[in-house]
Amino acid sequence: EAQVTQNPRYLITVTGKKLTVTCSQNMNHEYMSWYRQDPGLGLRQIYYSMNVEVTDKGDVPEGYKVSRKEKRNFPLILESPSPNQTSLYFCASRTGAGTEAFFGQGTRLTVV
């Protein structure tokens, strides 16, 4: 089954404790992105990747890092999480520049 898999689905952590949210897709897609979803603000793009070792900032990259060492994986790293990073995070992948995105199930992160 074609899918985008995120882990974990739920995470509660403390301020400053480094964490990684994993994202994996099995569709051989070149493009992958990370979004955060907050009430009233919609989905906002954090980072995106056009291919292995090629990444760029979206609209809200501060406090986040990404890496793309393999085509299927695109982890999101929070080196020092803060409470304002409490949010619902989605990973997405797509085949080409103008195509629709396939989203993961989301990771609900709470930073206390």
* C-beta atoms surrounding 19 within 10 Å: 17
Residue 74 interacting with another protein (CB under 8 A) = no
**80 vs 105 by CB, closer to another protein:** 105
Among 45, 67, 86, 95, binds another protein (CB under 8 A): 45
Structure tokens at 76: 């999101």
Q: Which stretch binds another protein (CB under 8 A): 18-26, 34-42, 60-68, 74-82?
A: 34-42
Residue 17 identity (one-letter amino acid): K
Instruction: Specify the residue, 31 or 81, whose C-beta has the smaller distance to another protein.
Output: 31
Rounded to whole angstroms, the Cα distance separating 54 from 13 reads: 29
CA distance 50 to 31: 5
Of the residues 60, 92, 109, 111, which one makes contact with another protein according to CB under 8 A: 92
Give the residue with the Cβ less far from another protein, 28 or 105: 105
Number of residues near another protein (by CB under 8 A) = 27
Residue whose pair of structure tokens reads 């992105």 in the numeric block: 33
Structure tokens that stand for 72 in this block: 């299927």
In whole angstroms, give the CA distance from residue 46 to residue 44: 6
Given the rule CB under 8 A, which residues bind another protein?
4, 31, 33, 35, 40-45, 48, 50, 56, 58-59, 90, 92, 97-106
